[in-house]
Amino acid sequence: MSDTIIVIGITLTYLLVVLAVGLRARGQASSNLEGYVAGGRHVGVVILFFILGAEIFSAFAFLGTPGWSYQHGAPAFYILAYLSLVPITIWALGPRVAKLGRERGYLTQGDMIADHYRSKPLGMLAGVIGVVALVPYLTIQIAGAGLLFQAATDGAVPFWLGGLLAFLVVAAYVFASGLSGIGWTNLVQGVMMIAIAWFLGLAIPERLYGGVGEMFTQLQQQAPEYLTMPGATGMGWGYFSTAVLVSAFGGAMWPHLFMKFYSADSGKTLRKVSVFYPLYAYLLVPLLFIGFAGILAFAEAPLERSDTVLLKMVMDVANFSPWVIGLMLSGALAAAMSTGANLAHTAAVVLVRDVMGPTVMKNASDEAAVSATRWSVLGLSLLAYLVALLNPGSLVMILLTAYGLIVQLFPMVIGALFMPQLRRASVMAGALVGSLAYVLMDFVWSSPFGWHAGVWAILLNILVVAAWQRFGRADSDASLTRPASR
């Protein structure tokens, strides 16, 4: 039996197991909108822990994280820095969001925004921004799956077919089971990816250098620039710090995070998850080790694409058996697919609920909304797959771009939760100006001082909100003291 057949066999077996678990999770609750979207609002600590973990740890984690530590060195630790702030987000926002969702029937971020500001156009704006930011995030997962298959099978499974296989499995169980399927498959895939990440993160430095400590000793002697800021590629403290801020505040605004808050059985459950959440974040530590291990391994022949360093280390340098390579591929696919399922599910719900709901599906029944959401899962996943075929650049940079856009929802969300004096015209103007400024700075102009463009955009967003509050005309229904009932 050839090595490639072993790798493909292990991976296909894993995909079939995930598909079976996801389809088996389909229950009666998945046939109504609240069950399909929020799991009936009865999700407990264990499942929610793995669901929220999968929100963060994706193809970006398995490929982008070692890629950045290989390419930049010390600046890659921005990832750990912003993840340390995620538990604060869950603790501060989660229980409040869950309570409002249960009381007023919210299923999306746009529901809360539209209801609080009594403005369906504002909810639609939040929905459009959410979908536009989620599609590139989903693209990362599909592109990551394609890269994994192509490299691990030495091209026997090409990029387009590997991405397609992962896309079809995820789309099938999300289509059928909704959040229930996502929860149970994330539990299986979370255990898988944590085990594989730690095995590879310790085994590779041990094989090549005699251990993690010895690896860093050799790095200090031969390539010390990778161990200090601004790193090997000159990334300054400005970009490092602003990337942390944009990722931390932007992470709190992702629509898929909000939807998981709605699914919790209580605020107490969310606070328990926030306490244990850092345990999941340890997944990134061994992945950073792999990237640092590649710095010396490829010193004479640098990789053209840094995101492939984990694959190259496992297959070409460490000389693992095909059985280990197959498990590695399965673990990395677990990261991509678990996040991809959450993103496809959320993007479809937001599109149907927030964008189509107030317009073309204004009087649609609950059954019609579920059907439209299921088909939107397939449509948006297909769109992300087609974008992935265009061979986008660095997975980390794609993600940072998406964060810079989604963070523009921050003022309107905080207003809906904690600052009822903010008016809808103010937050709408701020979001529009901030989003436009971000796109221009990220794709047309250079960001001042080399900072992440999202920081300048959100500062401009907040200034517009403040100015409109001070000088703009009050909304006809005035500011609200609490969200209105649906």
pLDDT of residue 483: 44
Taking 50 as the pLDDT cut, the residues of the chain under it are: 28, 477-481, 483-486
Which residues lie below 8 Å from residue 120, measured CB to CB, with a gap of 6+? 114, 358
- Please give the pLDDT value at position 304: 86
Structural contact between residues 344 and 167, judged by C-beta atoms closer than 8 angstroms: no
CATH class, domain 3-401, is mainly alpha
Burial 426-451 (b: 16+ CB within 10 A, else e): bbbbbbebbbebbbebbeeeebeeeb
Q: Which sequence spans correspond to the domains of the chain? A: 3-401
Q: How much is the pLDDT for 291?
A: 94
91, 111, 92, 93: which is closest to 101 by C-alpha? 111
Instruction: Please tell me the distance from the alpha carbon of residue 454 to that of residue 458, in angstroms, as a whole number.
Output: 6
pLDDT at 36: 78
Tens of pLDDT, residue by residue over 181-231, are 888 888 888 888 888 889 999 999 999 999 999 999 999 999 999 998 888
Report yes or no: 162 and 149 within 8 Å, Cβ to Cβ.
Answer: yes
**pLDDT value at position 292?**
96
CA–CA gap between residue 182 and residue 39 (Å, rounded): 10
Q: Are 203 and 210 in contact (CB under 8 A)?
A: no
